[in-house]
Structure 1
Amino acid sequence: MMNILHLDSAITGEASVSRKLTADIVAKLTSQNPTATVTYRDLAKGVPAIDGIWLEATRGMGDDNSAAHAAAVATSDAYLSEVKNADVLVIGMPIYNFAMGALLKSWIDQIARAGVSFRYTEAGAEGLLTGKRAIIAYSAGGTPLGSEIDHASAYMRFILGFFGITDVEFVAADGLIFDRDGALARADAQVAELAA
């Protein structure tokens, strides 16, 4: 049975193109895998930024066993559990100011934990979240996917690979301010061609 983790991060609500794309991608996957389960998380509702308390709590530093430490670990563990249980991650990545939004970056920071999502060996870093597929719904007004002004997609491919998720593909609706209908049509065609 396929387990899908569906993440949205756009702050634009129902007007969001990336939200439309993630919903379409999940619909395509579930139509071809009727027994699939879907776990949904809307990162726009808030993702705590990592801080000193998070660092102490997740690395077992200091002697503080406070409620703040416990809450920091519980939040991070919840995000990690969702990723670990997923076979496919469908991630909405709208571009703001040529990069991913802060909420999506905070989610990445929450799951970037040595010994949990990656580890260092004598041979170098090793990702621990292997055997997963990621489909990124990329939406941008004027930042073409893979262009020199796109500071999000290469990082996303790298960091997921660092975690061991190397099967990464993008569905892109870019150039929306120039040709919205065309961008949406191209993205829809990419969704239609996705292998389930």
Structure 2
Amino acid sequence: MTTLLQITSSITGDNSHSTTLTNSFVARWKAANPQGKVVVRDLSSHSPHLDGARLQALFTPEEQRTAEQQAVVDYSDELINELRQADAIVIGIPLYNFGIPSTLKAWFDHIARAGVTFRYTSNGPEGLLPNVPVYVVSTRGGHYAGGPADWLVDTFLKFVGYNNITNIYAEGLALGEESVAKAVTSASSEIEALFA
């Protein structure tokens, strides 16, 4: 069965442009893959940030872990398994104060595990996750395409093995109704074109 993993990261949920656009992507994907399965990971509802205790748990050998540490590793494993089982991934990312939501960064932190999702070789780091298509839907109040937030997301995805990344932007969302309509229409058209 073909599986799409949908990652949402907006704190405003279904009221956000990033979630609305990723939902549109999912609807088009489901129409193209009627037997497909969609797995949703909503980072706004639960995405613990990495701290000293969680980091220690990830580095503690399995036979030495406490129950609490094992729960941390189980959570990380669950996120990684969702990625391994996906045939395509769509990520909705709003821009908050010039950066990605902290919950999305926390998701990155629980996924980046040496020997599990990447490894270092004599030729540099090598990603270990399957190289499936990743669609990144980015929404911003101003115009920031190609800036630091994009660099972080694309760099991380490539680091763990994803090299087939498509960026879709809806920008200028804080610049009035006309700008919003233009941005959403443009992003929606890009999504439609992917399934044409």
**Normalised TM-score (structure 2):** 0.93
2:26 alignment partner in structure 1:
26
Aligned-pair CA distance for 1:194: 1.1
Aligned residues: 193
1:62–1:22 CA distance, 2 compared to 1 (3 A): closer
- Residues 32 and 195, structure 2, Cα contact 8 Å, conserved in 1: no
Which one of 147, 153, 161 corresponds to residue 164 of structure 1? 161
Q: Distance in 2 between matches of 1:130 and 1:63?
A: 28
Q: Kindly report which structure 2 residues correspond to 1:124-163, keeping only aligned pairs within 5 A, or say none.
A: 124-146=124-146, 150-163=147-160
Q: Who is 1:50 aligned against? A: 50
Counterpart check, 1:81 vs 2:78: no
Contact 1:54 1:72 (C-alpha < 8 Å) held by counterparts: yes
Q: Is 1:3 aligned to residue 12 of structure 2?
A: no
SS at the partner of 2:44?
helix
Q: Which consecutive aligned stretches of 4+ in structure 1 deviate over 4 angstroms post-superposition?
A: 61-64
Does structure 2 retain, via aligned residues, the 8 Å contact 1:5–1:86?
A: yes
Query: What does the per-residue CA deviation read over 1:29-48, in whole Å, with 9 as the maximum and x for residues that have no partner?
Result: 11111111111111000211
Give the structure with the higher percent strand: 1
Kindly provide the CA deviation profile for residues 110-131 of structure 1, in whole angstroms up to 9, marking residues without a partner as x. 1000011100112211100132
Residue type of the alignment partner of 1:25: F
Unaligned 5+ residue runs, structure 2?
none
Aligned partners of 1:53 and 1:72 also within 8 Å? no
The answer as to whether partners of 1:53 and 1:68 remain within 8 angstroms in 2 is no
Secondary structure of the 1:115 match is coil
Report the 3-state secondary structure (helix = DSSP H, G, I; strand = E; otherwise coil) of the residue aligned with 2:95. strand
- What's the RMSD between the two structures over aligned residues? 1.6
Deviation at 1:63, TM superposition (A): 7.6
* Residue number in structure 1 paired with 2:67: 67
Contact 1:91–1:136 (8 Å) recurs in 2: yes
Aligned equivalents of 2:104 and 2:171: distance in 1?
A: 18
1:93 aligns with 2:93: yes
| Aligned counterparts of 2:64 and 2:116: Cα–Cα separation in 1 | 21
- Matched to 1:187, the amino acid is A
Deviation, 1:65, is: 2.2
Q: Is 2:158 the counterpart of 1:176?
A: no
Instruction: Give 1:53 shift.
Output: 2.2
Q: CA deviation at 1:13?
A: 2.4
TM-score (norm 1): 0.93
Query: Take 1:194 and 1:154, find their aligned partners in 2: how far apart are those partners?
Result: 23
Q: Which moved more, 1:186-195 or 1:160-169?
A: 186-195
- Distance, in Å, in 2 between the alignment partners of 1:34 and 1:14 is 23
